[in-house]
Each structure stands twice: as structure tokens, then as C-alpha cells.
């Protein structure tokens, strides 16, 4: 199976854009804000909340970063206008972190001020390990600057994460805890799936013990079961579950029906192709899964 997954990754650059778009369609709202509004409205009607993400990681020019920031302001306005149960999630590289960190901070603060005026929460995504220190440093600076309604993401795959939780504990941050999808060297990241799962549980325990509001972001059934054990008896202010758009839809509905707050990550934007390829290349297992899923869609009765 692993050989198949890696073979799929090698073939991705020659796969026609139309095929990639067809396969990616369930996992991306679309290219426009209107597409995202439609998807989030459907989730809101079903009693499920959303996190809206504007695609555009690793911009290379200041004007590109400013365009992404404007897109977030438009998204915030739409969320407020439509009365949607949604917040937003931003990537610092999309706001120019690799171009000019001062520009990135300025744009991020503008988004936070706009969101705060509208009563909308903002979460700063975690990216690959080259961005971890910069992301946590900016997060601390934003909190020190009076921005309270902003959260962070931590990845259980990184060996440092328990230490990061301890270092952030004084802030009692709102944290999205995920496994982490980036391919990192073994010197800084756990490699074996079972070890990553154990790290996830240890990190979840540490976050809950520190009184951090924790967004449990996983589709892994074993982790969902362990997480449900740990949040039993906790109120809605202590935790929520998060899933990706188009992934394990029925399981997500079960969680929501059982009274747990479920939030679905809703990405949209014109850079859907780059986003799709990057996510698939970063995780061969997912690439193989999507390839098999595509075959199932294209070959009825398979």
C-alpha cells in the first residue's frame, strides 16, 4: 500500500488540473467567497460551526499578502452579515511572513481588530517547523498587545509540543490540537503513527489540565474515542471537535447529534490547485486515499 501511495505522489504534477479539481471538490468550498458562504450556511443550518480559511500560503510579494488580508476582511463582513456560525483561520505565510515579518504582523493585527469589532474569533494556523518559533512568538506578542480572541494550533507529531504547552500555559490559550501533516525529520518529529497518537493524547491531557479551551482536530477513530473519554462531563466552553470539509461527514454528524460542538474547516480560494497538490504531496497516505476514492467515484460499482 505504501508503494502505491508514493507512486501516486510522484504522478501528481502530471495529473490534469480538471481531474485534481474533481477529486478535490468535496474538500474545498470553491474559488469564491460566495462558494464559502453557501457551504458555511449549509453547515450552520445543520447545527455545525465552521472555520473559514482563505487559500494562499507562502505568498512571495507584499501585494499578494495584502490581497489575502482583504479577502479575510471580506470573509469577516460576510460572516457577520449572514449571521453564520463561523470564525476564521489564518496562515502567517499567507499574510507575508516569508516576505516581511513586520508586514505580516501589521496585516494580522488588522484582521484581528476587524474580527474583534464583529465578535468573531481568529485562529492562527501552525505550518511546517520552519514557522513554529515565529508563529508562537507572534502569538505571544499579540496576546501581550491585548488581542484576547485569538487562538493557536499545536501539532502532536512535533517532539517539542508538550514543552510548548507548558510554556504557553500562563496565557490559557485556545488551542487547536492536531496530529500535524507536514513531513518533518525524525530529529524533531515522531514518525510512527502509534507514537503520534500517544503524543496526541498526552498533549490533550496537558491542555485540559492547564484549563485551555481545546479544539480536538482529528478524524482518527481511536483518538476520537480517547478524546470523548477525556471530555466527558466538561462544558461547551472547555472543548470542541474539528474536522475537515468532506471528511468523515457521517461521524461528524454523530458527534454533533450527541451534543458536542463540531466545527468544520472550510477552505476556499483561487489557489485551490496549489493547496490540493501541497496537501497530497505532504502526506502520501492521503494521496493514496484520494486516488482510491477517485477510482471509486469514476468506476461505478467498484
| Extents of the domains making up the chain | 1-28+281-302, 33-268
For 282, the grid coordinates are 505532504
Per-residue pLDDT tens over the stretch 152-205? 999 999 999 999 999 999 999 999 999 998 889 999 999 999 999 999 999 999
Kindly report the pTM of this predicted structure. 0.90
Query: In sequence order, which residues have a C-beta less than 8 Å from that of residue 206 and are 6 or more positions away?
Result: 162, 165, 166
Tell whether the model's pLDDT for residue 206 goes beyond 90: yes
Distance CA(247)–CA(198), nearest Å, equals 22
18 alpha-carbon distance from chain centroid: 25
Residue 89 region by backbone torsions, left for phi larger than 0, else alpha for psi between -120 and 50, else beta = beta
- Burial level of 120, CB count in 10 A (0-12/13-18/19+)? buried
Q: Is the pLDDT of residue 274 over 60?
A: yes
pLDDT of residue 172: 97
pLDDT at 238 over 70: yes
Question: How are the residues of the chain apportioned to helix, strand and coil, as percentages rounded to the nearest 5?
Answer: 55, 15, 30
Q: Which three-class secondary structure state does DSSP give residue 146?
A: coil
CA distances from 185 to 62, 118, 192 (A): 31, 41, 12
Q: Please give the distance of CA 72 from its chain centroid, rounded to a whole number.
A: 15
**Residue 257: per-residue pLDDT:** 97
Look at 119 and 57; give whichever has higher pLDDT. 119
Count CB-CB contacts under 10 A for residue 188.
Answer: 12
Helix (H) or strand (E) holding 240: strand 239-244
Per-residue pLDDT averaged across 211-234, rounded?
97
Among residues 247, 251, 215, the alpha carbon closest in space to that of 231 is found at 215
Q: At 302, is the pLDDT very low, low, confident or very high (cuts 50, 70, 90)?
A: very low
Average pLDDT over residues 106-135: 98
Burial 266-302 (b: 16+ CB within 10 A, else e): bbbbebbeebbbbbbbebbbbbbebbeebeeeeeeee
pLDDT at residue number 166: 98
Higher pLDDT, 270 or 150: 150
Hey, what's the cell of 125? 494556523
pLDDT band for position 11 (50/70/90)?
low
Q: Is the pLDDT of residue 137 over 80?
A: yes
* CATH topology classification for 33-268: TIM Barrel (3.20.20)
What element of type H or E holds 266?
strand 262-268
Question: Dihedral of the CA atoms 220, 121, 239, 249 (nearest 10)?
Answer: -40
Task: Find the DSSP H helices in 25-61.
Answer: 33-45
Give me the active site residues, please.
125, 176
**Residue 134 contacts by C-beta under 8 Å, 6 or more apart in sequence?**
92, 97, 101
Backbone CA torsion sign across 61, 65, 71, 73: negative
Give the pLDDT score at 287: 57
What mean pLDDT, rounded, does the chain reach?
90
Span 258-270, pLDDT tens digits: 999 999 999 999 8
Q: How confident is the model at residue 81 (pLDDT cuts 50, 70, 90)?
A: very high
Q: At what angle do helices 62-82 and 101-118 cross, to 10 degrees?
A: 10
**In this model, does residue 207 exceed pLDDT 80?**
yes
**Residue 110 contacts residue 119 (beta carbons within 8 Å):** no
Average pLDDT of the residues in 79-90: 98
Task: Provide the CB-side half-sphere exposure for 140 (13 A, CA).
Answer: 12
pLDDT at 150: 98
Percent of the chain with pLDDT over 70: 86
Dihedral of the alpha carbons of 287, 291, 292, 294, in degrees to the nearest 10: 140
Amino acid at each position: 500500500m505504501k508503494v502505491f501511495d508514493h507512486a501516486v505522489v510522484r504522478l501528481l504534477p502530471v495529473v490534469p488540473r480538471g481531474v485534481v479539481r474533481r477529486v478535490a471538490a468535496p474538500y474545498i468550498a470553491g474559488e469564491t467567497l460566495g462558494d464559502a458562504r453557501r457551504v458555511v450556511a449549509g453547515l450552520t443550518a445543520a447545527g455545525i460551526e465552521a472555520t473559514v480559511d482563505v487559500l494562499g500560503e507562502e505568498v512571495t510579494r507584499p501585494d499578494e499578502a495584502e490581497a489575502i488580508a482583504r479577502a479575510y476582511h471580506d470573509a469577516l463582513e460576510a460572516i457577520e452579515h449572514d449571521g453564520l456560525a463561523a470564525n476564521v483561520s489564518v496562515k502567517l505565510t499567507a499574510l507575508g511572513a516569508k516576505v516581511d515579518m513586520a508586514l505580516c504582523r501589521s496585516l494580522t493585527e488588522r484582521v484581528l481588530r476587524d474580527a474583534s469589532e464583529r465578535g468573531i474569533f481568529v485562529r492562527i494556523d501552525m505550518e511546517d517547523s520552519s514557522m513554529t518559533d515565529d508563529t508562537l512568538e507572534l502569538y505571544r506578542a499579540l496576546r501581550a498587545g491585548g488581542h484576547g480572541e485569538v487562538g493557536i494550533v499545536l501539532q502532536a507529531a512535533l517532539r517539542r509540543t508538550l514543552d510548548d504547552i507548558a510554556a504557553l500555559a500562563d496565557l490559557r490559550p485556545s488551542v487547536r490540537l492536531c496530529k500535524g501533516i507536514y513531513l518533518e525529520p525524525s530529529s524533531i518529529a515522531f514518525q510512527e503513527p502509534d507514537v503520534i497518537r500517544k503524543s496526541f493524547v498526552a498533549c490533550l491531557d496537558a491542555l485540559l489540565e492547564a484549563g485551555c479551551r481545546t479544539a480536538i482536530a482529528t478524524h482518527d477513530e481511536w483518538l476520537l474515542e480517547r478524546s470523548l473519554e477525556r471530555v466527558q462531563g466538561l462544558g461547551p466552553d472547555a472543548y470542541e471537535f474539528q474536522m475537515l470539509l468532506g471528511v468523515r461527514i457521517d461521524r461528524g454528524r454523530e458527534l454533533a447529534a450527541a451534543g458536542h460542538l463540531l466545527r468544520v474547516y472550510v477552505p476556499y480560494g483561487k489557489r485551490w490547485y496549489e493547496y490540493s497538490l501541497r496537501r497530497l504531496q505532504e502526506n502520501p497516505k492521503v494521496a493514496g486515499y484520494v486516488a482510491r476514492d477517485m477510482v471509486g467515484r469514476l468506476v461505478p460499482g467498484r
